[in-house]
Amino acid sequence: MKKISIIALLLFAVYVFCMYSYMMSHSGVIPQALQGTAADPVMFMSGKELYLSEEYSKIRNFLFFIATPLEWLLYFLVLVIGVSRYFEKVAIAQSKWRLVQNAGYLFFLSGFLYIVLLPFNYYRYSLSKSYGISTQTLSSWLRDGLVDFGVNFVTTFIIVTVLYWLIRKSAKRWWLYAWLLMIPMTLFVTFIQPVVIAPLYNDFYPLKDKELEAKILAFAGQAHIPATHVYEVNMAEKTNALNAYVAGIGSNARIVLWDTTLNRLSEDEVLFIMAHEMGHYVEKHVYWGITGYLALAFVGFWLTAKGMTWLIARYGRLLHIDKLSDIRSFPLFLLMLSMLLFLSNPLSNYVSRYQEIRADDYAIALTKDKQAAVTAFQKLTIAGLSEVNPPTLVKWFRYTHPTMLERIQKVDEQEPK
């Protein structure tokens, strides 16, 4: 156990060193053909902004690439050292009821992981604040963390209770039944997210600028979006970044603008951003996203079931797992699912980038205002200190949107359709 743990720590240290070297060696040079164009950050960012953007992007990208493997390492050590087995024993000793045992085990496991990862998450928060992206107070950040913990705990408790009940009932096909149950659950969560979950973190209220709201709703009418209000959310107390979105499905679809976007962008730029978000609705990207997510989940559940069965049969003693139906095997489930999700990022991000290009095209067709699109993208870059030309690995694994270099270049060159 000690030998395996040391090897895992050493492998993680080597990986961290390699990723650090890769990220810090990237220069972000703009192709010569685009130098001096609207896509060149030199043309719309100050020297200080350019420096901060490059520095902040490198650190943020590095943290992204070590955050998920760090979770893998924790899941592995929790199993190998016997922490998961200990939490199960303590939970079983507290009650004879399985539901109470599951709740106790998950509370111990979730609390342990939350505390262990708290310094890392605090560093990411303080980094964002030091570069002027986050404006959130420490108390507000801690409150959001506790809300996250509570929401995740309740959600995970429901999932685990159903999941391990299925495993006990059908050791071979539990993964298929779990996937089938995911379909209505995913649709339900997507439906309630704008009106139940999102308000837990921020206050939403009707847009104060009624003239702007009328123009946005006029666009929404052309897009056949069933919305009678545009909502504003108070994000300025948490961030300087800009954003807007159309969320939800059916009658719960909501058009939402961050107040930072309203404060920093002109009316034409806001209308372009909203037209872009409506493009996602028109092309039913939410539904395509749900379909793709469920398809990947099907493959992921199948591979996880096969992988867990093989690992427990071969290394169950090392992992302190006697059988798959033991709730102590849950960290192994999280480990395998997290690895598969991470490896699927290039594919899902590629599809997402294609959808973003389609939404940009729709916005240009609706607004017929290329200039507003270009300046909006430039301001989004400045507000988030975004990297316009990231390294290849970063683009594959992180970027759900095309790079700003690509978006500005494409919009600047195309003719409205």
| Active centre residues (catalytic) | 277
DSSP annotation of 63: H
Find, among 345, 349, 356, 352, the residue nearest to 404 by Cα: 356
Task: Give the sheet arrangement for strand 254-258, strand by strand.
Answer: 204-206, 230-233, 254-258, 244-247
What secondary structure does DSSP assign to 266-301, as a single string? -HHHHHHHHHHHHHHHHTTHHHHHHHHHHHHHHHHH
The C-alpha torsion from 403 through 405 and 406 to 412, rounded to 10°, is 140
Query: Are 298 and 179 spatial neighbours (Cβ–Cβ below 8 Å)?
Result: yes
Kind of pairing between the strands at 254-258 and 204-206: unpaired
Distance CA 389, CA 343 (A): 22
Q: Is the separation of the CB atoms in 149 and 316 below 8 Å? A: no
Is the Cβ–Cβ distance between 90 and 84 less than 8 Å? no
CA angle 56, 388, 289 (to 5 degrees): 100
Give the residue carrying structure tokens 């979770």.
71
Residue linked to tokens 């040391």: 6
Q: For 242, phi and psi rounded to 5 degrees?
A: -115, 145
Strand 254-258 versus strand 244-247 pairing type: antiparallel
Q: Could you tell me if 145 and 86 are in contact, meaning their C-beta atoms sit under 8 angstroms apart?
A: no
Tokens of 349: 């991000």
